[in-house]
Amino acid sequence: MLTKSIVYAVPLFLLAGASFAQEFPLTMQHTYGETIIPEKPVHIVTWGWAVQDAVVALGEAPVGIPHFTYGGDDNGALTWTKDAIAALGADFPTILSQSGGVPYEAIAALTPDVIIAVYSGITEEEYTRLSQIAPVVAFPDKPWSTTWQDTITLTGTAMGKAAEADALVAELEQFIADETAKYPQVQGASFAGIGGYDGAVSVYTAVDPRMTFLEDAGLTLAPSVAQLGDVNSFYYSLSFERANELTSDIYITYADTDADAEAFFGHPAMARTLQVRSGAIASMVGPELINSVSPPSALSLKWGYPEYIRRISEAVDKSKAQ
C-alpha cells in the first residue's frame, strides 16, 4: 500500500502578501450559458471532482463537498483534502452524498453563495435546479473533460482569486517539470492508457484529462488510440482479441487491486502483447493512488505525481531494453 506524508503549507504566492483585487459582480461562461456571481462568495459548495481541492489550495474551506467513495476514507474524505483543511485550521466541510444523485435539499441547507461544478457531469436539468439555490458554475465544454489547470483557474475566478489561481497553476506546472526532469527517458515515449471493464479493454482517449495531463508532461498518446475507436468519448471498449493492435511504447493501466491487475494481464490476449511480454507496463493499483492522478487536483498532484512518473519511467526503461 502506498503511504505518504505531505506537509501542506500556505502557497508561496499567498505568503508573499500579494493582494489581487477582482471586481464583482462577474459573469462566467460555461456549457449551459452564463452565470452571474453578484459578490465575492463566502459559503462555497463544490460538486464533481477536484474542485474542493482547488478551493482549499487557494486558502479557503468550502461549506460542502461531495462524498468520495473511490479513494476516500470511511467518511468519504480524501487524504490530501483532510490534511490541507487541517493545515488551514478550518472546520471540515459537510460531506454531501452522491448515492442518489445531486442532493438538492442538503446543498440548499448550507445556504451557499455559489456552487462550483467546473469538473463534473451535471446535466442541464440538474444545473437548472441547482441554480434555484445559488449561482452555479458548470464545466466549460464536455462533462468530465476539464483539465486540472482549468479546474483551478475557473474555480479561482468564481472565488474572486483569479490571479492567485494562475500563480498556483504555474507553481504546480513547475513541480511537474522538476519531477519529470528526473526521468529524461520518458520524453516523447508513446503510451496507451487502458483498463479492464465489462469483458473488454477500456482505452482512454485524448478527451480524458488523465491522458492530456501525461501529454503535458512530455509523453505522447499513441496514434493507435485514435485509430481503433471513437475518440469523441473519454474512453471506448476494445475487444481483447484486438489488444495487439494497440501499439505503443508502454501501457499505463489502472486497477483497484493487485488481483484485478493480474487477472487483466493474465488474459491470453493481453499476455501476448509486446508491452506485457516486455514488462513495459506502468501499473497504478489502488483507489487512492489512482484518484490522486486521475487527473490530479491542486492538492493531490504533489501527493501522487512523484510515484506516478517513477513507475512510468520504469516502464519506459523496459520498453527500450526489449
Q: Give the pTM.
A: 0.88
Counted residue by residue, the chain has a size of 322
Residues 6+ apart with CB under 8 A from 77: 68, 92, 95
pLDDT digits (tens, 9 = 90+) for 273-286: 999 999 999 999 99
- Cβ pair 117, 135 in contact under 8 A: no
Which domains, ranges and CATH numbers included, belong to the chain? 20-176 (3.40.50.1980), 185-321 (3.40.50.1980)
> CA 1, CA 243: separation in Å to the nearest integer?
29
| Closest to 218 (Cα-Cα) out of 247, 192, 183 | 183
- Amino acid 11: pLDDT: 53
The DSSP result for 201-268, as a single string, is EEEE-TTSHHHHHHHHTT-EE-HHHHHSS-TTSSEEEE-GGGGGG---SEEEEEESSHHHHHHHHHSH
pLDDT digits (tens, 9 = 90+) for 201-253: 999 999 998 999 999 999 999 999 999 999 888 899 999 999 999 999 999 99
Assign 44 to helix, strand or coil: strand
H or E segment and range at residue 259: helix 258-266
Taking 70 as the threshold, does the pLDDT of residue 48 lie above it? yes
